[in-house]
Structure 1
Amino acid sequence: MKKVFRLTFLTTIWLLLIYSTYELGMWQLHRAQAMNVATAVKPDQPLIALTDVASAGMNLPIKAINRIVYADGIYSTSYIARDQKISEGKLANLDVRLLKLSSGHSVLVVRGVASEPLDVINSDIYLTGRLYPRQNVDRAFAKPGELSRIDPALVVSKENPFLYDGYIVLQSEKIGGKSSSNTSFIPTPQISQQVAGFYWQHISYVVVWWFMGALLLIAPLFPQFRKPKKVLKSGVKK
């Protein structure tokens, strides 16, 4: 009776371990699939006002990243952001402006590739562009009138105490009610909000868990896991 109970108990544990490795593998597979969907490029949503998706002085909401927004105001300050990546393997110096809205709040705007000296623009501005999160890593050593990275924290001052987080990269611009002749626009692709490498990390976990399950499945075939046979010692007659 004890032998049957022990065999049943060990078999149950063995099957539970195999089932657990299978389920853990499926869990990692589902996470990889969910991440793949989350990082896929999505169709752009309708044009929306900057003030409807973000608030000045607050962190940029995740839902606002990659949105095509519009805003109007005047350019109050101009900067150059050097050594910015605009495409694979291509760096450029960018024309960055501080757009002051009618509310008194401001937002950083990337007009495109900088042509030095920067154009002076005093007219009213209406623009559309894609909203990106602020940069956290310096791209270059900044001199006066330059930005080491495109980050509103670098331009906060008594005159501009409340800025919108992130920055807008232009897609269209009207100056004084007329379409801008600006031809230095840069590409505005959607950015991924996840690290692509994590997808393959989850896939590797799937392989590991299912490999362990396969080892457990064939474990009874190995002699080491079988009950050792008793060795009968033969007596020695004197």
Structure 2
Amino acid sequence: MYRFLLTRQWLITMLIALLLIPATIKLGFWQLHRHEARVARNELIGKALTDPPVPYDALSSTPGFAVPKDLTWRAVTATGEYDPAHEFVVRKRTDSNGSIGYFVVTPLKLSDGKGTVLVNRGWVASGDGATQYPPVPAAPAGEVALTGRMRADETYGASGIKDRSGLPDRQFNLINTEEQAKESGTALLGGYLELAATTPAPADQPQLIPEPNHSDIGPHMAYAIQWWLFTAMIPVGVWVLARREAKDRAKQTGEAETLAEPVPA
């Protein structure tokens, strides 16, 4: 009844099914690992944001310091005076609504004399054109106390941003302390501070960057379950097709035998 399974067509079908099963299982585990990584990232960010703030230079005390993952988003404080002469903007950055503009980055000379920190003061809209420096609220004068989040230097390799030369004056593609140290001749502590609050509060300032969303786990677990359900459906589907063809062949054989029977005289 099932001898048709040995035909070329069915052997190819079953071979494809056998190849699909391990592939879909692997895809399911891939999505599971992405889910686990997302959950671990959210937990890390949540812990970093809720831990008591510490002075920035207690974590990054030297130029070139590479901020590790467990310190990224760490709540930090800094006290000092802004250096508006070396302020710059970072191109093609979006606000919470997806509008394209600039990040405003201003160096802060720490009051304890331990160095200078880049501070991302927030987002501003584009001005008259990409070649013009955008309208930027002035950095507060005098000594200020900041709270914010520690961030690692951006790099072309990690960000996927292309390294483009010939940009307008004081416009850059990345927030990178090594690049800015060469540009300004100032020794900068590694990483940078993403501003959350300023004391005393300025009358006008760029749009502050909101905290990262660390509650959304994404759809990866649902995708993993879908792949594994599809895995289970493959042999079931082959069995259903085989049963259907077996019934069709049996029906065709019965009809052929009926037609072949002699008609009584």
> What is the aligned counterpart of 2:37 among 35, 38, 50?
35
Instruction: Give the distance between the partners of 1:214 and 1:170, measured in 2 at CA.
Output: 56
Deviation for aligned residue 1:122: 4.5
Give matches, 1:1-238, under 5 Å.
31=33, 33-40=35-42, 42=46, 44-46=49-51, 47-56=53-62, 57-76=64-83, 77-101=86-110, 102-114=112-124, 116=135, 119=138, 121-135=140-154, 136=159, 137=161, 142-157=167-182, 159-165=185-191, 167-174=192-199, 178-190=200-212, 202-203=224-225, 205-207=227-229, 209-211=231-233
Identity percentage over the alignment? 16
Deviation for aligned residue 1:173: 1.2
**Contact 2:109 / 2:117 at 8 angstroms: preserved in 1?**
yes
In the alignment, which residue of structure 2 is the partner of 1:8? none
**Contact 1:79 / 1:147 at 8 angstroms: preserved in 2?**
yes
Deviation for aligned residue 1:26: 8.2
**Contact 1:92 / 1:113 at 8 angstroms: preserved in 2?**
yes
Instruction: Give the distance between the partners of 1:123 and 1:207, measured in 2 at CA.
Output: 63
**Contact 1:25 / 1:209 at 8 angstroms: preserved in 2?**
no
Moved more, 88-97 or 114-123: 114-123
Instruction: Give the distance between the partners of 2:106 and 2:40, measured in 1 at CA.
Output: 32
Instruction: Give the distance between the partners of 2:96 and 2:136, measured in 1 at CA.
Output: 23
Q: Which amino acid aligns with 1:74?
A: E
Query: The residue matched to 1:87 in structure 2 has which SS?
Result: coil
**Contact 2:137 / 2:206 at 8 angstroms: preserved in 1?**
no
**Contact 1:147 / 1:154 at 8 angstroms: preserved in 2?**
no
**Contact 2:89 / 2:102 at 8 angstroms: preserved in 1?**
yes
With structure 2 as the length reference, what TM-score do the two structures score?
Answer: 0.56
In the alignment, which residue of structure 2 is the partner of 1:3? none
**Number of residues paired by the alignment?**
201
Higher helix share: 2
Q: Which amino acid aligns with 1:188?
A: P
In the alignment, which residue of structure 1 is the partner of 2:4? none
Instruction: Give the distance between the partners of 2:101 and 2:148, measured in 1 at CA.
Output: 19
Q: Which amino acid aligns with 2:55?
A: A
- The gaps in structure 2 that reach 5 residues or longer are 1-17, 125-133, 246-265
Query: The residue matched to 1:134 in structure 2 has which SS?
Result: coil
Moved more, 67-76 or 22-31: 22-31
**Contact 1:28 / 1:205 at 8 angstroms: preserved in 2?**
no
